């Protein structure tokens, strides 16, 4: 019976309902999903709220066409010396910037040689490389070295010169006598012709004899002058002079050295004219005005104000295959030796592109604000001025070429623009 009771108890335990964990997991998953949806909806609403609020708000922003207008009294305008000019529209040749190098012309370097054999003597301080010398300046003196054979030759030369001078002097005296006699005969013959006792032919013959005698006298005098050109034998030093203004590049000798005739003493170069070599990319060569003048300026040229114009010139052709460039050469006067060989410069070349008419204004009328913007002042009425924005393409000499600005015919301020700018922003006097 006890066994039956145990079996019944087991049956009762088996029939007791179990807790289902799958239902609990399902309920938890639904709860998490619900809260996630609520959180996402809140974040989306917050993001929409932030996006609807701008990061900055500008009120009463001024427009460029509604800038301040400056009105001056006649006395103030006169005191500021306001000057206006008109914006013009004209054809402007386009330009392009290149880099150039200063080089010496091929014929600018020369050498000076010793005219005779002798010993070099320095004149003042011994010359050195880089020394500037003037035309006809004595750089060295050469004291001749006379050998016995040269001494004999000099004595013979001196004797021959004296003989030639004496003979020429005798010829001069004889020619003078013949000229005087011919003049007397001519005067007598002309007088006989006037008196009717002589013929005209005899007078012509006498006149011809006088002409021949004068020619003989002139030739004798020339021979005498030639004898003076022969240098007399002397042991005096011979001057070695510079043929032109130049700078010594290299010295081959020193003072006290004995040199033979024809020895190179020094090399010098003149810097009065220099060449500017401008490498141009071969793809742009046909667009460049190769026969037009180029404006040569320093690399830090600001606003295109400085520089000088150089003319195109012929030079030995040169190019760089690695850089695909062809060299153009321009000649420039180098006053004061301000440019040196190897110096880098800027070169503004004209190009053939037809850009049509452009707005052109004086460079003096342009103002720059703190942000780098460019402005001009327009005269909108007598004594009234307003600031206008301009976009500058480039500056050439004293004019500015605009990409955008007031239309042609507009009157703008050139002198006194800075004073108006200070008045507008309360920084002027």
For residue 68, what is the domain's CATH number?
2.40.420.20
Write down the pLDDT at residue 347. 92
| 222 and 284 part of one domain | no
Residue 4 has what pLDDT?
47
pLDDT for residue 343: 94
The pLDDT score that the predictor gives to residue 370 is 81
Q: What is the pLDDT of residue 344?
A: 95
Dihedral in degrees, nearest 10, Cα atoms 137, 140, 141, 142: -140
Same domain, 82 and 99: no
301 located within any domain:
yes
- How many domains are contained in the chain? 3
SS3 133: strand
Residue 159 sits in the same domain as residue 223: yes
Which pLDDT score, from 0 to 100, does residue 9 have? Answer: 47
The closest alpha carbon to 186, from 161, 167, 213, belongs to 213
For the question of whether the overall pTM of this predicted structure is more than 0.75, the answer is no
Residues 314 and 281 in one domain: yes
Q: Closest Cα to residue 117, out of 267, 268, 257, 266?
A: 257
Name residues whose C-beta falls within 8 Å of residue 412's C-beta, 6 or more positions apart in sequence: 84, 85, 86, 87, 361, 365, 376, 377, 378, 379, 388, 406
Same domain, 158 and 225: yes
Ordered mean pLDDT values, 10 residues apiece, the chain (429 residues):
45 48 59 54 51 54 64 85 86 84 90 90 86 90 81 78 83 87 85 79 83 86 76 75 90 91 92 93 91 89 74 92 95 88 91 76 85 87 87 80 86 86 69
SS3 state of residue 29: helix
- From 229, 249, 284, the end of a domain falls on 229
361: containing domain: 64-92+356-424
Task: Compute φ and ψ for 376, nearest 5 degrees.
Answer: -135, 160
* 23 in any annotated domain: no
């Amino acid at each position: 019976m006890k066994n039956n009771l145990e079996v019944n108890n087991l049956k009762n335990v088996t029939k007791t309902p179990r807790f289902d964990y799958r239902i609990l997991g399902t309920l938890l998953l639904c709860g998490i999903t619900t809260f996630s949806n609520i959180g996402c909806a809140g974040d989306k609403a917050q993001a929409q709220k932030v996006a609807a609020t701008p990061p900055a708000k500008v009120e009463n922003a001024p427009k460029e066409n509604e800038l301040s207008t400056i009105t001056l009294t006649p006395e103030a305008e006169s005191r500021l010396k306001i000057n206006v000019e008109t914006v013009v529209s004209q054809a402007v040749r386009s330009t392009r910037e290149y880099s150039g190098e200063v080089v010496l012309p091929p014929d600018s370097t020369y050498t000076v040689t010793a005219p005779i054999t002798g010993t070099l003597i320095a004149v003042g301080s011994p010359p050195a490389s880089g020394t500037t010398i003037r035309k006809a300046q004595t750089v060295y003196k050469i004291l001749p070295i006379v050998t016995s054979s040269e001494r004999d030759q000099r004595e013979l030369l001196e004797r021959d010169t004296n003989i030639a001078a004496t003979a020429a002097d005798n010829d001069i005296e004889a020619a003078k006598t013949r000229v005087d006699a011919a003049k007397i005969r001519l005067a007598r013959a002309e007088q006989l012709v006037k008196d009717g006792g002589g013929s005209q032919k005899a007078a012509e013959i006498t006149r011809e004899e006088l002409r021949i005698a004068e020619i003989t006298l002139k030739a004798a005098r020339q021979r005498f002058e030639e004898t003076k050109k022969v240098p007399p034998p002397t042991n005096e030093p011979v001057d070695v002079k510079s043929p032109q203004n130049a700078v010594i590049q290299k010295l081959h000798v020193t003072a006290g050295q004995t040199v033979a005739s024809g020895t190179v003493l020094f090399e010098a170069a003149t810097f009065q004219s220099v060449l500017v070599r401008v490498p141009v990319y071969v793809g742009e060569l046909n667009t460049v005005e190769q026969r037009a003048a180029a404006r040569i300026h320093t690399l830090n040229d600001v606003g295109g104000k400085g520089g000088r114009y150089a003319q195109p010139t012929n030079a030995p052709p040169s190019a760089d295959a690695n850089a695909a460039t062809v060299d153009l050469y321009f000649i420039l006067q180098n006053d004061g030796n301000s440019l040196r060989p190897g110096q880098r410069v800027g070169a503004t070349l004209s190009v053939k592109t037809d850009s049509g008419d452009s707005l052109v204004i004086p460079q003096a009328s342009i103002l720059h604000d703190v942000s780098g913007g460019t402005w001009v002042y327009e005269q909108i009425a007598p004594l009234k001025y307003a600031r206008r924005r301009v976009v500058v393409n480039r500056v050439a000499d004293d004019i500015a070429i605009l990409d955008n600005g007031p239309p042609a015919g507009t009157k703008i301020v050139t002198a006194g623009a800075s004073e108006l700018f200070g008045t507008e922003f309360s920084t002027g006097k």
